[in-house]
Amino acid sequence: MGCSAYCFHCLFDHGTPVILVVSSKKVGFIFRLLQLCIIVYVAVYVCWYKRAYQERDSVISSVSTKVKGNILTNSSALGTHVWDTSEYVIPPQGENSFFVLTNAIVTQGQTQGSCPEIPSEFTNCQSDSDCKEGLKEIRGNGVQTGKCVQYSETIKTCEVLSWCPLENDTVIPKPALLSAAEDFTVLIKNNIQYPKFKFRKRNILRHINSTYLKNCTFNHKTDPHCPVFRLGDIVTESGEDFSIMALKGGIIGIFIDWSCDLDFNERFCVPKYSFRRLDNKNPENNVAPGYNFRYAKYYMNNENTETRTLIKAFGIRFDVIVFGMAGKFNIVPTIVNVGAALALLNLMKVICDWFMLNCLSDSEYYSKHKFKHLKPKDESETFSFTDQSSYGTP
Amino acid sequence: MGCSAYCFHCLFDHGTPVILVVSSKKVGFIFRLLQLCIIVYVAVYVCWYKRAYQERDSVISSVSTKVKGNILTNSSALGTHVWDTSEYVIPPQGENSFFVLTNAIVTQGQTQGSCPEIPSEFTNCQSDSDCKEGLKEIRGNGVQTGKCVQYSETIKTCEVLSWCPLENDTVIPKPALLSAAEDFTVLIKNNIQYPKFKFRKRNILRHINSTYLKNCTFNHKTDPHCPVFRLGDIVTESGEDFSIMALKGGIIGIFIDWSCDLDFNERFCVPKYSFRRLDNKNPENNVAPGYNFRYAKYYMNNENTETRTLIKAFGIRFDVIVFGMAGKFNIVPTIVNVGAALALLNLMKVICDWFMLNCLSDSEYYSKHKFKHLKPKDESETFSFTDQSSYGTP
Amino acid sequence: MGCSAYCFHCLFDHGTPVILVVSSKKVGFIFRLLQLCIIVYVAVYVCWYKRAYQERDSVISSVSTKVKGNILTNSSALGTHVWDTSEYVIPPQGENSFFVLTNAIVTQGQTQGSCPEIPSEFTNCQSDSDCKEGLKEIRGNGVQTGKCVQYSETIKTCEVLSWCPLENDTVIPKPALLSAAEDFTVLIKNNIQYPKFKFRKRNILRHINSTYLKNCTFNHKTDPHCPVFRLGDIVTESGEDFSIMALKGGIIGIFIDWSCDLDFNERFCVPKYSFRRLDNKNPENNVAPGYNFRYAKYYMNNENTETRTLIKAFGIRFDVIVFGMAGKFNIVPTIVNVGAALALLNLMKVICDWFMLNCLSDSEYYSKHKFKHLKPKDESETFSFTDQSSYGTP
């Protein structure tokens, strides 16, 4: 055979395995059943439920928030005071979270100086020898001077250098100073994109008009696409009581789920909101429960000394957590899954063969026809098949 | 056959299917064509374009920014005023975003008290009966006292308890107070890592020296790796007009794409910058367009009353959004894709077989030789093959 | 054959390839070896090491931090001053990062006005002609008035409109003002979830009680699950010297790795902490080394003029970076990988066949029995097999 003829054969000869067709209802039934299972699994679970034929991408997001509402409070420390957004939202603008002050311990007129510590097991003293100059007790409020001074008529505590008078945070205002904050509303604007699919969307959907936006409040059933949320609703939906949570603060997650099937029209790709408390309210394995931090407003008093109002702010931090995966048909994962299914179908054949060759009464008979044992050439040239007898002459 | 001999056979006998080689140009051509398609698909699309042989990891990033520039403004509210970074970047340091003030409504000397509301359809009144004591109108600026008072000579509005005098934000300064902010520059330092590959890099590339960094400005063509950006260029590249955007503010995304093929040298892994406006400037399905927030500077006045300067800050928030996926050769996805391709090649064989057995004129002839129908043993022991006739005697 | 009988055959006939069993130790050995490799690869690498049978999900996280500690400093600018959390943590609360001030240049009593620039190559002048009215030198501190004025007895610089007196940041306090900040502690609370698996956990593990939390400090060996970290330890573990880093500041990443195998009990899913410096301390390809920003405290002085204290704050920004992937058994990736392994096993068969048909001395003999060359029907009806001679008559 010439070289070109050989190549021609290589290219255009088609090799197909010789198939032994066995008419056994048992084997046939098992094979079809297994085949059906695979096909149902691929169709229902892989394609329909898991959408494994899709390529995936994670969401990239940008969030801006705006809180609205005013509150009138009447406390001994502050007198009558109206709180507006610039006072109770700290910092005035955040990235993915915003903090709403709900309770506060206000200490006015602090200046640098020395004063007796707040009584506690670490600060109480009998005499100067109980205090150590320069000690920065981690649970204390300043640096000890080494003196033991009168805190009240009965109690003596170590004197500290600090912003004086010291804040006494042992008693938290109850009910919370701004417990009415549950009526505040927050507008959340969220802009997402799936860079792999060049897909962009906003949580303010295209069919929503400005008039609706100005008057709506989010509600899972009636207004699921309104981006204005009442704080009280958020807290209630996350299973908490606003008035209790307002006392010591906490962290609430506002989850925006952008999971989308981009094989469908993009208008089906809408955000789903859910709410959950993120911090631990269980007091047993907890430390510093709730959520609070201290900040100060600095002044110069009339003697030109730096004075400050220290505020221990308790409140709810709302973390806007945007997540989601988008899927879109792509040939690579499709072929990977089709390939896997085909390999499985092949495996089913092997299983059926095994069943046929081992578990049926005719096994040996089938085996005889399926396998052609070829002896090594040198052993027996003429009797190449051990089963040559099955090729009966007529 | 002894047990050990049997095991020996099990282990070292090699089973290979008996192949019927068909010399049909049609079938051969179709098979080779299909095979070629698969191979081209795998080589070009899967390997080259999608790099499906790679394991992937998402980027972890840390960003710091520093804005530079000074502006001299001359407004009726503030007089001549020089703005420096600590005044117009709020908060002074952010994580992944920074805000540059471009316009402001400044209300000086606010103290707690009562004053007439800003006129609007919700606050105008004729008499005290139109106002309700304690009402916290969500679009209002305070808590109503229940009185209807003179706002101007012609207009009466409800009186509110609030920080007085109230801010009147109906007129926005035009042109924007800090419209010259487009000349500011921002240095963006970005540090990324792909934890799976233990790969770390900075956006300040190794070959760049300090002298260049101190004088360069980012430009897609001439300086694509300079980390110093002119704000005006960012806004222009995102398709906006700085002077218009400065009026009401907005959000601009600075996208840093770290998509990398780590099979190549790491010096090819460089950040790609792009810019896009993230907020909606379309007024139709929008609410609170632009980007603004209020913050206040608190003072004690001479009578020791808390006074504040309220600033409604309009400006551009720049969100530095770092994204990207790195890929590196890994045996698992490689084998998954090779396996899928092999399964597909097998499928092609099945398709060719089907074509050969159904669509050719010689189908029956091929079929006769491909399939050996084995009857159940009990039915016909001697005539086991239905196609035994094809095994002709010489 | 009737139609129903045909369908019956289609459904329940089982086709199994006719296998030629070759008793060649060489081929058998090679085949078993290849098979073993594949199986070992799948078992060890794919299943055990890569856990490719698992579906994966990325972590979603929420972080809150609380720094504690007080410091007494004695500087010429501030006198004796006690710093507490609300002063040195800026902003008072962050999302995923917190900044601790370690060094500061304080410029007190700034008011809007004009004053000579800080001497530098860009601001020094001989006469008014060297200065340009309105020039906003990007490396300068204000807007030039066009005058050249005396800065000191020997140096003349351009006059600028700015907050005066200007800050002189050429000399950084050394040692750092708050170098003792290494004794501060930070409590990090981290709440994570894997939404795909509905799995949630906190970094304060369930078995830890409040008493332990109040007294522990994180240590890789003794207290790996304590969420309270000493700042000095963090910096040391990231390979830096706190006293040096405190001078000019920097960024340190606190990495929390939540990689988990959720097929095991959830109590094995615990956070792993690590620390690393993120900014570049190499001065060669760097600009603005360290980490600093400016902020100001605003006052009204006795003449009712706005005055401010400008603080150039150097410090360490700690970025809490939470990452991780959870895996859980899922049938889809399992089947994809099993399919790929099966396809590979098939490939091994093909390789062995090729070896058998090309590299052995008996190749031609094997080939003769493996392939049955079927000629096109019209060419030779009676001599359908080219190898018909091998079917010897007895």
Q: Are the C-beta atoms of C386 and C373 separated by less than 8 Å?
A: yes
Distance from CA of C211 to the nearest CA of B (A): 34
Query: What's chain B's Rg over C-alpha atoms?
Result: 38
Window from A258-272, B100-114, C159-173, C359-373 with minimum mean pLDDT: C359-373
Considering only CB atoms, B337 lies closest to which of A336, A371, A391, namely: A336
Nearest to A335 among B286, B287, B340 (CB): B340
Q: With CB atoms and an 8 Å threshold, state whether C210 touches A353.
A: no
Structure confidence at residue A383 as a pLDDT band (50, 70, 90): very low
How does residue B255 score in pLDDT terms, banded at 50, 70 and 90? very high
Q: Which residues of A touch B315 (CB under 8 A)?
A: none
> What is the residue type of A196?
K
Q: Per the CB < 8 Å rule, is B317 touching A64?
A: yes
Strand-pair partners of C260: C326
Q: Which residues of C touch B393 (CB under 8 A)?
A: 393
State how far residue B169 is from chain C, nearest Cα, in angstroms: 23
Under an 8 A CB cutoff, do A287 and C12 touch?
Answer: no
State yes or no: pLDDT of A194 exceeds 90: yes
Asked if A11 lies within 8 A of B28 by C-beta distance, the reply is yes
pLDDT above 60 (res C119): yes
**Which residues does chain A have within 8 Å of residue B273's beta carbon, measured at their own beta carbons?**
none
pLDDT of residue C385: 42
B116 min Cα distance to partner chain C (Å): 26
**Which residues of chain A neighbour B391 with C-beta distances below 8 Å?**
391
For chain C, the chains sharing at least 3 beta-carbon pairs closer than 8 angstroms are A, B
What mean pLDDT comes out for the span B255-267? 92
- Position C315 confidence tier, pLDDT thresholds 50, 70, 90: very high
Distance of alpha carbon A116 from its chain centroid, rounded?
46
Q: Name which of C91, C140, C347 is nearest B342 (Cβ-Cβ).
A: C347
pLDDT band at B10 (very low <50, low <70, confident <90, very high): low
Identify the band that residue B3 occupies on the pLDDT scale cut at 50, 70 and 90: low
The dihedral over CA atoms of C237, C242, C248, C250, expressed in degrees to the nearest 10, equals 20
Residues C131-144 have pLDDT tens digits of: 888 888 777 888 88
Residue B72 distance to chain A (closest CA, Å): 25
Query: B137 vs B145, which has greater pLDDT?
Result: B145
Nearest to B374 among A21, A187, A297 (CB): A21
Q: Among candidates B84, B215, B217, B187, which has minimal Cα distance to C122?
A: B215
Note the pTM of the prediction, 2 decimals.
0.87
| B372 contacts in chain C (CB < 8 Å) | 18
Average pLDDT of chain A? 85
Higher pLDDT, C386 or C153: C153
Percent of all residues in chain B with a pLDDT value above 90, rounded to a whole number? 37
Q: How confident is the model at residue C7 (pLDDT cuts 50, 70, 90)?
A: low
Judged by average pLDDT, the poorest of A341-345, B180-184, C138-142, C177-181 is C138-142
Annotate B295-333 with b (16+ C-beta within 10 A) or e (fewer): bbbbbbeeeeebbbbbbbbbbbbbbbbbbbbbbbebebb
Q: Which two tokens stand for residue B292?
A: 């603004």
Q: What is the pLDDT of residue A344?
A: 84
Which of A234-238, B138-142, B314-318, C307-311 bottoms out in mean pLDDT, i.e. has the lowest? B138-142
Q: For residue C220, give both structure tokens.
A: 């890789």
CB contact under 8 A, B208 and C296: no
Residues in C closer than 8 angstroms to A253, CB to CB, are 62
Q: Give the closest residue to A325 by CA, choosing from A217, A228, A195.
A: A195
Which H/E stretch holds residue A12?
helix A3-12
Closest CA–CA distance from residue A209 to any residue of chain C (Å): 32
Rounded average pLDDT over B35-44: 86
* Partner-chain residue, chosen from A82, A309, A342, that has the shortest CB–CB distance to B142: A82
Is the pLDDT reported for residue A102 higher than 80?
yes
Picking from B42, B51, B52, B47, the residue whose alpha carbon sits closest to that of residue B333 is B52
- Cα–Cα distance, B204 to B190 (Å, whole number): 8
Task: Report the distance separating Cα A238 and Cα A232, nearest Å.
Answer: 10
Decide if pLDDT at B188 tops 60.
yes
Q: Which residues of C touch A353 (CB under 8 A)?
A: 16
pLDDT interval class at A274 (50, 70, 90): very high
CB-nearest partner of C82 from A142, A283, A382? A142
3-state secondary structure chain B: CCHHHHHHHHHHCEEEECEEEECCHHHHHHHHHHHHHHHHHHHHHHHHHCCCCEEEEECEEEEEEEEECCEEEEECCCEEEEECHHHHECCCCCCCEEEEEEEEEEEEEEEEEEEECCCCCCCECCCHHHCCCCCCCCCCCCEEEEEEEECCCCCEEEEEEEEECCCCCCCCCCCCCCHHHHHCEEEEEEEEEEHHHCEEEECCCCCCCHHHHHHCCCECCCECCCCEEEHHHHHHHCCCCHHHHHHHCEEEEEEEECCEECCCCHHHCCCEEEEEECCCCCCCCCCCCCCEEEEEEEEECCCCCEEEEEEEEEEEEEEEEEECEEEEECHHHHHHHHHHHHHHHHHHHHHHHHHHHHCCCCHHHHHHHHEEEECCCCCCCCCCECCHHHCCCC
Confidence of residue A227 (pLDDT cuts 50, 70, 90): very high
pLDDT tens sequence across C211-242: 888 889 999 999 999 999 999 999 999 999 99
Mutation to test the C interface, candidates A293, A301, A379, A386, most C Cβ within 10 Å: A293
Q: What percent of chain A has pLDDT over 90?
A: 37
Contact C161 B64 (CB under 8 A): no
Q: Give the largest Cα separation in chain B, rounded.
A: 127
Contact state of A210 with B285 under an 8 Å Cβ cutoff: yes
CB-CB neighbors (< 8 A) of C343 in chain B: 338-340, 342-343, 346
**CB-closest option in A14, A213, A392 to B28:** A14
* B285·A369 Cβ contact <8 A: no
- B/e letters for C255-274, b = 16+ CB within 10 Å, e = fewer, are bbbbebebeeeeeebebebe
Q: What is the pLDDT of residue B380?
A: 44
Report the residue from C18, C95, C332 with minimal CB separation from A20. Answer: C18
State how far the Cα of A394 lies from the Cα of A380, in Å rounded to an integer.
25
Average pLDDT, chain B: 85
- Under the banding of pLDDT at 50, 70 and 90, the label for residue B224 is very high
pLDDT band at A392 (very low <50, low <70, confident <90, very high): very low
> Quick check: A70 and B140 CB within 8 A?
yes
B221 to chain C, closest Cα gap in Å: 21
DSSP states of C310-362: EEEEEEEEEEEEEE-EEEEE-HHHHHHHHHHHHHHHHHHHHHHHHHHHHTSTT
- Which H or E run contains A16? strand A14-17
The answer, yes or no, to whether residue A170 has pLDDT greater than 50, is yes
pLDDT recorded at residue B260: 92
pLDDT exceeds 80 at position A169: yes
- Please compute the mean of the pLDDT values over residues C282-306 and round it to a whole number: 84
pLDDT 10s digits, C66-92: 999 888 888 877 788 889 888 899 888
Which residues of chain B neighbour C138 with C-beta distances below 8 Å?
68-69, 185
| Min distance B212 CA to chain A CA atoms (Å) | 32
- Distance (Å) from the C-alpha of residue C286 to the closest C-alpha of chain B? 5
Nearest to A338 by CA among B335, B340, B339: B340
C-alpha distances in Å from residue A303, one per residue of A51, A373, C301, C309 = 72, 110, 11, 16
Nearest 10 degrees: CA dihedral of C120, C121, C122, C125?
Answer: 90
How sure is the predictor about A193, in pLDDT bands with cuts at 50, 70 and 90? Answer: very high
The per-residue pLDDT for range B74-87, each reduced to its tens digit, is 887 778 888 988 88
State the pLDDT at residue C378.
57
Measured distance CA(A299)–CA(C297) in Å, rounded: 8
Give the model's pLDDT for residue A9.
65
> What 8-state DSSP symbol labels residue C219?
B
Nearest to C17 among A18, A25, A384 (CB): A18
Q: Is the model's pLDDT at C186 over the cut of 90?
A: yes
Q: Do B315 and B99 touch, CB atoms closer than 8 A?
A: yes
pLDDT of C181 over the 60 cut: yes
- CB B159 within 8 Å of CB B117: yes
Q: Mean of the pLDDT values across residues B253-277?
A: 93
Between A95 and A393, where is the model more confident? A95
Compute the nearest-CA separation of A215 from chain C (Å): 31
- CB count within 10 Å of CB B47 equals 17
Q: Is pLDDT at B54 greater than 80 in this prediction?
A: yes
**To which residue do tokens 């301390």 refer?**
C281
Q: In which order are the strands placed within the sheet that holds C260-261? A: C54-58, C325-329, C260-261
How many angstroms separate the CA atoms of C394 and C381, rounded? 24
Question: Which residues in chain A are contacts of B291 at CB distance < 8 A?
Answer: 64
d(CA C342, CA C323): 34
Query: Regarding beta strands A60-68 and B14-17, do their DSSP bridges make them parallel or antiparallel, or are they unpaired?
Result: unpaired
Residue-level pLDDT at B346: 84
Nearest chain A residue to C330 by CA distance is: A50
Q: What is the pLDDT of chain C when averaged over all its residues?
A: 85
Minimal Cβ distance to A340: which of C21, C195, C340 = C340
- C229, C188 in Cβ contact below 8 A? yes
Comparing CA positions, the residue from B296, B317, B183 lying closest to residue B249 is B317
| pLDDT given for residue A356 in this prediction | 81
Query: Is the CB of residue C309 less than 8 Å from the CB of residue C106?
Result: yes
Q: Judge: B162–A71 Cβ closer than 8 Å, yes or no.
A: no
Q: Do A95 and B94 touch (CB under 8 A)?
A: yes
Q: What is the pLDDT of residues A15-56, one digit of tens each?
A: 788 888 887 778 888 888 888 988 888 888 888 888 888 999
| CB neighbours of residue B351 within 10 Å | 13
Choice among A43-57, A380-394, B66-80, B153-167 with the minimum mean pLDDT: A380-394
pLDDT of residue A378: 57
Of A72, A91, A67, A98, nearest to A83 by C-alpha is A72
Closest chain C residue to B390, measured at CA:
C384
Residues B388, A392: C-beta atoms closer than 8 Å: yes
Quote the tokens at residue B300. Answer: 């004690």
- In C, minimum Cα distance to B333 occurs at C337
Among the partner residues C21, C91, C343, nearest to A91 by beta-carbon distance: C91
How far apart CA B130 and CA B151 sit, in angstroms, is 15
Per-residue confidence band for A321, with pLDDT thresholds at 50, 70 and 90? very high
Higher pLDDT, A385 or C36: C36
Q: Specify the range with the lowest mean pLDDT, choosing from B163-177, B186-200, B341-355.
A: B341-355
Residues of A in contact with C69 (CB under 8 A): 136, 138
Spatial separation of the C-alpha atoms in residues A176 and A182, rounded to whole Å: 11
Q: Which of A278, A229, A228 is nearest to A253 (CA)?
A: A278
Determine how many CB atoms are found less than 10 A away from the CB of residue C392.
Answer: 13
Q: Report how far residue C130's alpha carbon sits from residue C147's, in angstroms, rounded to the nearest whole number.
A: 8
Bridge partner list, A298: A308
